[in-house]
Homo-oligomer: A and B are copies of this chain.
């Protein structure tokens, strides 16, 4: 079940084609997106996601419609939603048709996939070399490492590679040995009463990590951004993949080596779930 709206506030049948073949989103993966979680009709971190979408567009030299237009599309989907309390909202803006100058924008609403909520049982990850270091990539703007781009084939390929090798997910590591991010998520570790996430160099800044760190700090945790190696992860008191829809998935295995779920998992998940 999918709901689909354009930014004029109109709903469309998602089974009917909406995109032309000369759209640069299809031709060359030129576009940006955001994935958000809706809980009981409330969109979480909406202004943060809209701001990141604008940054992605700016870094891609694309124009995107004003925030008010996105709200029309989002409201149309929210109003029509008759399914469970939770929903995945996705905002997409492609560069548009080769001959036009307008982006192609749409909003979809879908159910939260069962599979993504592995908070309890935990997930196994395979570390994969990203081919560059985050620090170096951050100085090369054409690599678009800080952009949530629909040119997402490498991420999906990494995920498939990990699954073909018996893991649930992939974890990118830089050539300098520093952990970067998951294929579709950020990384957080616990060390004592400190939560650590890698610096934002060469990776997508995570809105959900920011949310977690905000609530964790109020709860007495120390939070910091610092470089983490694979060895740091194995030695940590807890390792999680963090993203807007899956929230907090505990990592229970790194490259087939078992690690324990932190005893603070439920507490942190509770912090992340609160408004």
Contact = CB atoms under 8 A, between A and B. Distances in A.
Contacts of A4: 21
A23 B18 CA distance: 10
A27 to B, nearest CB: 7
24 contacts: A4-B21, A19-B19, A19-B23, A21-B108, A26-B26, A27-B92, A27-B152, A28-B150, A29-B150, A29-B151, A29-B152, A30-B153, A31-B153, A60-B153, A60-B157, A131-B132, A131-B137, A131-B143, A132-B175, A136-B175, A142-B161, A143-B154, A151-B152, A151-B153
Contacts of A2: 22
Task: From A141, A149, A151, name the one whose CB has the most chain B CB atoms within 10 angstroms.
Answer: A151
A271 to B, nearest CB: 30
Nearest to A183: B142
Contacts of A128: 140, 142
Q: Is the interface of A mostly helix, strand, loop or mixed?
A: mixed
How many chain copies does the complex carry?
2
Interface of A: 2, 4, 14-31, 33, 60-61, 92, 94, 106, 108, 128-129, 131-132, 136-137, 140-144, 147, 149-158, 160-161, 170, 175
A157 to B, nearest CB: 5
Contacts of A131: 131-132, 136-137, 140, 143
A28 to B, nearest CB: 4
Given A19-B20, A21-B19, A23-B19, A154 B161 contact: no
Contacts of A17: 16-20
A94 B150 CA distance: 13
Contacts of A14: 20-22
Nearest to A108: B21
A105 to B, nearest CB: 11
Given A17-B20, A26-B19, A94-B26, A170 B142 contact: yes
Nearest to A129: B140
A126 to B, nearest CB: 10
Contacts of A16: 17, 20
A154 B150 contact: no
Given A19-B20, A92-B21, A136-B131, A27 B150 contact: yes
Given A20-B17, A20-B18, A108-B21, A141 B161 contact: yes
A79 B149 CA distance: 37
A185 B30 CA distance: 19
Contacts of A19: 17-21, 23, 26
Given A4-B21, A27-B152, A151-B154, 19 more contacts: A26-B31, A26-B92, A27-B92, A28-B155, A29-B29, A30-B152, A30-B153, A129-B136, A131-B132, A131-B136, A132-B132, A132-B175, A136-B175, A142-B154, A142-B158, A142-B160, A142-B161, A143-B154, A144-B154
